[in-house]
Amino acid sequence: AQSVTQLDSQVPVFEEAPVELRCNYSSSVSVYLFWYVQYPNQGLQLLLKYLSGSTLVKGINGFEAEFNKSQTSFHLRKPSVHISDTAEYFCAVSYSGAGSYQLTFGKGTKLSVIP
């Protein structure tokens, strides 16, 4: 079984400052890693995902994440945030083998960008 931990439930940051949202996972098998964003009153939207290859993954809206296998982490970063980045961010994993396609989510991190 896999699990995902997002240590920060809320992260306030000033506009144009950098941000890092932390995600750690535990799994006894290989996994794929995802970051989703949820804007108010909307569904979950994929920001980026790591399947294999380069450990630095770039996504939409200027976000990137780095997969670190030894630390079992997949932290999300953005060098300069905008007001429009205010949303809830979810880290998720799925089993990379056959037969199980479910996503396992973390509890989410609410990013508040302060003008």
Partner 1 sequence: EPEVTQTPSHQVTQMGQEVILRCVPISNHLYFYWYRQILGQKVEFLVSFYNNEISEKSEIFDDQFSVERPDGSNFTLKIRSTKLEDSAMYFCASNLGDSSDTQYFGPGTRLTVL
Please give the residues from 1 up to 40 whose contact with partner 1 meets the rule CB under 8 A.
Answer: 32, 34, 36
Adjacent-strand bridge partners of 66: 56, 75
Q: Which stretch binds partner 1 (CB under 8 A): 14-22, 56-64, 72-80, 99-107?
A: 99-107
Question: Per rule CB under 8 A, is residue 96 in the interface with partner 1?
Answer: yes
Contact 74, 31 (CB under 8 A): no
Rounded to the nearest 5°, which phi and psi values hold at 43? -80, 180
Q: For residues 67 and 55, is the Cβ–Cβ distance under 8 A? A: yes
Nearer to partner 1 (CB atom), residue 45 or residue 68: 45
Q: Which residues bind partner 1 (CB under 8 A)?
A: 32, 34, 36, 41-46, 49, 51, 90, 92, 94-108
